[in-house]
Structure 1
Amino acid sequence: MGRRALLDAWIAVLEGREDDVKPLAGVREDPLKDLGANPEEPYVLAHRRLSPLQALVFAVSYIWTTLVWARGEETRMVCVPGPHVRSLHRGAMEYLAAQTQTPPDEGGEKEGLVNKPFVSEGDVLSSWITRLAMLPLRGTDQTVSIMNAFGMRSVLAKDLLPPTHAYVGNAVAGVWAFVSMRDLFSRPLGYTAAAVRQSIAEQGTRQQVEARAAVDLAAGKRGKAAMYGDPKMAPVMVSNWSKAKFFETDFSAAVIRPGLDPARRANKVGRPSYIQPNGLADGIPTRNSFPIVGKDAAGNYWLSGTLKKGLWRRVQEEMDTEYTYLAHHFVASQYEFVDAKGE
């Protein structure tokens, strides 16, 4: 969202709307410096916090796995067709609706719903990505930790990050969902998607953001970082950028002439058809991390993923199998993935 603010300012100047450029927040003073100073409730994951010894065990295991035993990583871009995402989402919603139905009463009344379940397409994508990333560990008894990057701007808008200013720094917290490896593969995708949605609902409130920041402040003063889960967990990290709407970035004011016939393109002139995320990790493993870039003009989702070297071939086979099944039963769709150079 910080990048979105930067792009909005850039486009405003490009279109001659300098008055629409918001003043920068955080130039001379950190607007988040007091976040965590006054928690009103305990952090909901306090009971899952790793002890120093457990955190050390996890760190050693993770380093051994990613840098020694199974070293080497590959990054790919994946395009998931819109119809396929919608079919996955529909299946998840139908599963959850079935789980919340009550049986007919003795008077013969029709069954009803206790409540209306909800998961977003992003929740389903996070779950789908996690299942693909965990393919090599299928059959183990590990806990899977699904960390979604949670943008705090919306919950801090009333006091610390008002929408009248542009804050281009990080304002992100992690929200964690935990599922067993067995449930990840044996239960329908809606089960894991519901766990992701619950983690966002429970940990994404203003009070919980404050509580989590308080834990981090206390840990930081002791030179440590708070970690949650269990020492043998398998981590997956997802950052969904869909809210930034990067594919709707409008640079049409800079267009001298259209490069393609408008009839041959899904995106409007001046708007991107492909976006390539890149990052600098400085030797730190980024395995099982997935930024979801967003939805393009044709309704397809684009995401980037980093997996153990050689695993993408197996992922491709799994996607082909899933495509064949869904194309036969639901919709005709197609997967494509390219390497980090966009080829």
Structure 2
Amino acid sequence: MKPFTDTDTGRPGNGPVVGARCDDGAMAESSIAAGVDEQTFRELTEPYRAELRTHCYRMLGSMYDAEDALQETLLAAWRGMAEFEQRSSVRTWLYRIATNRCLNFRRAALRRPVAPLPFDAPEPTRHAEVSWLQPCPDALLDPQQVLTARASVELAFIALLQQLPPRQAAVLVLRDVLEFSAAEVADLLGSTPVAVKAALQRARERLSRHEGRRPEPERGSPTERGLSERFARAFEAADVDAVVELLTDEAWLTMPPWPHEYHGRAAIGEFLRGIPAFRDRAEIRLQSVRANAHPAFGCYSRRADGPFRATGLLVTTYGPDGISALAHFPPAENFPRFGLPLALPPEGATIS
């Protein structure tokens, strides 16, 4: 089973750099036994920083936690260089540290309480199990994964991983996304190949219960751009009917950290009509970004002649017949990561 293979190119989902067994640093690694200075350590680890961040993000679902886990990984690697055994590559050694740090994070996770929604919302279709999910800018993800294994960095997959038991999630990512062998994963986790295979089977069974991933427009294609432009125009016009018209029948609206989830055009439309900016016909502006290999928008609104204030980050997922998912995230903790300001001047607010 290779669920994260790019079906258009046939290339492994992790790509030629990420998925290789990474012996290209062998010459540099030979210096480890003699000890390394900070510059050498940076040269050894920097090529893997982006993919390690992506790995931690998959495992934890939160960019805050992923960055903390990455820093702990690099610190532990620096402190442990003298004990590094060259039975494996630096990459494999770093994945061992990172995976176990992430497992520790998940065991000790203390989730912050969530404030109530700032307006009266209709009754949701259901309440989400994963409230700590955060979006990740494409620029911070492993670029090979974004290009060749899009499904493995999408919000839907990240959320599903949070619902798996921690070790099952680790095994699934290491085996099916990163394509480590069962023996390698067993070594990384201090387990056995038999236990790894059993955990992988259980993880795959749980994932198979969820609706299969539908084809999406190619990244940056005219179809994707056209749908993004139509959505932005409708949203800026506060035209709920036009927004709903772009949704698929089975579309979902989610809004971590709030647990409210709305399914279908009618439920999403009812929710949108209650948003203060739509309800009060405020002036709305969107700034285009990319998150989790999808088009996304920084949303701003204003009343009277004041500046445009940030109201949220919207990540969109497109299917073959429209928008299949909208995920809204609060601005304060997400905009800085995307390079978005928390306010726009009245004269400079345009779709970017």
Return the TM-score normalized by structure 2. 0.22
Q: Which has the higher contact order (CA 8 A, sep 6+)?
A: 1
Considering fraction of residues, name the structure with more helix: 2
Return the TM-score normalized by structure 1. 0.23
